[in-house]
């Protein structure tokens, strides 16, 4: 076990890493209008820039977690930074939108390597009785990335070309990479090398790619027209399950889900959480700027009320989960989120405080939820499963993010013409005529209500715990 000073350096290194992924994702989304104008690209082309990042993250978290388990988590953690460093520099020389999409996809793979190993390394370095606090600090870094990105992006894009948002990754990634050679020199986290389940990895990746593509592009084209992707994902997933049940060294240990109810419930709750909350920036940016006529700067100042409270409460909830257990604190967080969303669904917004207060409550709820929920996932498995558990949780989170955007845009699409919705989503349209105001508000309230219901369901799933069975039995 590492000494206290060594653990703190490990936490610093992984926290910088955890900052980088959401920071990059947010900057990419923020820069979409500038990128589209630079390449003279249409919406369908431009939207693939942020989607390529999310697809890579959602598709490769588990396979890379499994590979890292077997061949060394620290080594693959460092490889993620190396990929980001090289590709961020190459992006500066992108010749067209398609080259940029491919390079951003590679950054997503590098980010997947970092994300799937950060949580696993923390879980290995910190004993269970103080792990929650460390995971809280790590979660706080994620929210700092989400908080800083829009403001820094606005400054950078005002004075420089869009390429600089990728160049800013270089000093951040380089700092964490160099730190890892000092903080993790005594860590050799890998399991006994076994034969890699290549076929299972391919089937699983294709399954996630197909379902992610279906969720991503069906709003652009048509749900029925793209349904073949859904059928393909089902076929490949069935083949994957059949193979994994027969494999002596499966990519995904299905017993984690079938016999470990804590693991299953915590991942399901994380999916519900991200599905209900991730579309907040998308929906509220339109609502505040178009309906209430606030400037982008003022909108940013209002929306920051959510991540600020995430930052404040994440380490607090992590510490509380060490002392009192994870499930109840995470459930309280989901309850607060559900109440705030439900209030927004029925509240007639009159002042800016009618937005700030519910968003602040959502931020508090998210801060209370994230670290304890992660603690539940990681503490429900043994050390040799940390990598795959971390990868599974990451995949669930990014799948929830995609589902959140699809859900919100589908509900709004029932109120607004799809063409206008797509323009608004890409950032190329900044206003809605008076004809659509009431329709948008109706769709907005439906989004809030559905998000509230999903969050309240998450209260129940968060409280589920493992019974005495073949899985690990925990206090959490």
Confidence at residue 290, expressed as pLDDT on a 0 to 100 scale:
61
Confidence at residue 455, expressed as pLDDT on a 0 to 100 scale:
92
Per the model's pLDDT, the better-predicted residue between 212 and 426 turns out to be 212
Q: Is 188 helix (H, G, I), strand (E, B) or coil?
A: coil
In the block, residue with structure tokens 């003279």: 40
Residue 425 has pLDDT above 50, yes or no: no
Of 142-156, 179-193, 419-433, where does mean pLDDT reach its minimum? 419-433
Characterize 233-254 residue by residue with b for buried, 16 or more Cβ atoms within 10 angstroms of its Cβ, and e for exposed.
beebbebbbebbeeeeebbbbe
Per the model's pLDDT, the better-predicted residue between 228 and 382 turns out to be 228
308 CB contacts (<8 Å, ≥6 apart)? 147, 360, 363
Per the model's pLDDT, the better-predicted residue between 266 and 412 turns out to be 266
pLDDT digits (tens, 9 = 90+) for 79-128: 988 999 999 999 888 888 899 999 999 999 998 888 878 877 777 777 76
Confidence at residue 187, expressed as pLDDT on a 0 to 100 scale:
65
Per the model's pLDDT, the better-predicted residue between 299 and 431 turns out to be 299
* Portion of the chain with pLDDT greater than 70, in percent: 80
Confidence at residue 476, expressed as pLDDT on a 0 to 100 scale:
37
In the block, residue with structure tokens 């959401």: 22
Give the rounded distance of the alpha carbon of 279 from its chain centre: 12
Please report, for residues 65, 215, 272, 338, 424, the alpha-carbon distance to residue 237 in angstroms, rounded to integers and kept in the order given: 19, 16, 21, 32, 34
Confidence at residue 1, expressed as pLDDT on a 0 to 100 scale:
55
* Portion of the chain with pLDDT greater than 90, in percent: 12
Confidence at residue 31, expressed as pLDDT on a 0 to 100 scale:
74
Residue 338 has pLDDT above 90, yes or no: yes
User: Which alpha helices (DSSP H) does 160-186 contain, by range?
Assistant: 164-167, 169-183
Per the model's pLDDT, the better-predicted residue between 387 and 54 turns out to be 54
Confidence at residue 467, expressed as pLDDT on a 0 to 100 scale:
45
Of 66-70, 165-169, 313-317, where does mean pLDDT reach its minimum? 66-70
DSSP 58-70: HHHHHHHHHHHHH
Segment 246-265 shows an average pLDDT of 76
Please report, for residues 124, 229, 279, 400, 423, the alpha-carbon distance to residue 215 in angstroms, rounded to integers and kept in the order given: 35, 9, 14, 11, 18
pLDDT digits (tens, 9 = 90+) for 176-225: 888 888 777 766 655 555 566 678 778 887 887 787 777 666 655 666 77
Residue 162 has pLDDT above 90, yes or no: no
Full-model pTM = 0.73
User: Which alpha helices (DSSP H) does 184-260 contain, by range?
Assistant: 198-217, 227-246, 255-258
Confidence at residue 5, expressed as pLDDT on a 0 to 100 scale:
67
Q: What is the mean pLDDT of the chain?
A: 78
**73, 120 in Cβ contact below 8 A?**
yes
Per the model's pLDDT, the better-predicted residue between 438 and 19 turns out to be 19
Residue 274 has pLDDT above 70, yes or no: yes
Of 225-229, 412-416, 446-450, 467-471, where does mean pLDDT reach its minimum? 467-471
Distance in angstroms (rounded) separating the CA atoms of residues 85 and 79: 10
Segment 447-461 shows an average pLDDT of 91
DSSP 274-320: HHHHTTHHHHHHHIIIIIS---HHHHHHHHTHHHHHHHHHHHHHHHH
Distance in angstroms (rounded) separating the CA atoms of residues 155 and 463: 43
Quick one: residue 273, left, alpha or beta (phi over 0 = left, psi -120 to 50 = alpha)? alpha
Confidence at residue 296, expressed as pLDDT on a 0 to 100 scale:
63
Segment 269-288 shows an average pLDDT of 81
Residue 471 has pLDDT above 60, yes or no: no
- Rounded to 5°, the CA angle 449-257-215 comes to 45
Confidence at residue 474, expressed as pLDDT on a 0 to 100 scale:
39
Confidence at residue 241, expressed as pLDDT on a 0 to 100 scale:
87
In the block, residue with structure tokens 């959510």: 306
Of 71-80, 129-138, 354-363, where does mean pLDDT reach its minimum? 129-138
């Amino acid at each position: 076990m590492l000494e206290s000073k060594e653990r703190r350096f490990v936490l610093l290194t992984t926290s910088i890493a955890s900052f980088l992924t959401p920071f990059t994702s947010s900057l990419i989304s923020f820069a979409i209008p500038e990128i589209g104008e630079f390449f003279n690209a249409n919406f369908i082309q431009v939207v693939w820039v942020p989607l390529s990042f999310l697809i890579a993250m959602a598709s490769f978290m588990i396979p890379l977690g499994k590979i890292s388990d077997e061949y060394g988590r620290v080594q693959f953690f460092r490889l993620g930074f190396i990929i980001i460093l090289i590709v961020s520099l190459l992006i500066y020389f992108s010749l067209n939108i398609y080259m940029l999409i491919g390079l951003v996809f590679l950054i997503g793979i590098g980010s997947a390597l970092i994300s799937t190993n950060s949580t696993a390394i923390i879980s290995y370095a910190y004993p269970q009785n103080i792990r929650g606090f460390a995971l809280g600090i790590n979660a706080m870094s994620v929210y700092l990335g989400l908080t800083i990105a829009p403001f820094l992006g606005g400054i950078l894009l005002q004075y420089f070309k869009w390429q600089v948002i990728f160049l800013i990754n270089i000093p951040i990634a380089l700092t964490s990479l160099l730190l890892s050679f000092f903080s993790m020199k005594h860590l050799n986290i890998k399991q006994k090398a076994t034969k890699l389940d290549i076929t299972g990895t391919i089937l699983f990746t294709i399954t996630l790619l197909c379902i992610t593509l279906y969720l991503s592009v069906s709003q652009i084209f048509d749900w029925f027209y793209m349904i073949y992707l859904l059928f393909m994902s089902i076929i490949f997933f069935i083949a994957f399950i059949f193979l994994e049940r027969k494999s002596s060294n499966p990519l995904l240990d299905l017993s984690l889900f079938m016999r470990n109810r804590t693991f299953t419930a915590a991942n399901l709750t994380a999916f519900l959480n991200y599905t209900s909350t991730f579309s907040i920036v998308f929906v509220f940016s339109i609502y505040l700027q178009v309906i209430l006529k606030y400037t982008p700067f003022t909108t940013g100042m209002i929306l920051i009320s959510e991540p600020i409270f995430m930052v404040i409460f994440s380490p607090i909830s992590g510490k509380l989960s060490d002392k009192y257990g994870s499930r109840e604190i995470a459930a309280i967080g989901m309850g607060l989120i559900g109440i705030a969303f439900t209030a927004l669904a029925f509240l007639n917004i009159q002042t800016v405080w009618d937005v700030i207060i519910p968003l602040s409550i959502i931020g508090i709820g998210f801060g209370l939820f994230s670290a304890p929920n992660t603690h539940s996932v990681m503490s429900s498995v043994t050390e040799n499963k940390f990598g795959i558990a971390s990868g599974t949780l990451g995949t669930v989170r990014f799948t929830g993010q995609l589902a959140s955007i699809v859900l919100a845009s589908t509900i709004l699409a029932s109120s607004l013409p799809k063409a206008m919705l797509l323009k608004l989503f890409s950032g190329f349209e900044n206003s809605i005529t008076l004809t659509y105001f009431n329709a948008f508000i109706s769709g907005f309230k439906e989004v809030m209500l559905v998000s509230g219901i999903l969050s309240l369901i998450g209260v129940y799933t968060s409280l589920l715990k493992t019974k005495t069975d073949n899985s690990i039995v925990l206090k959490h």
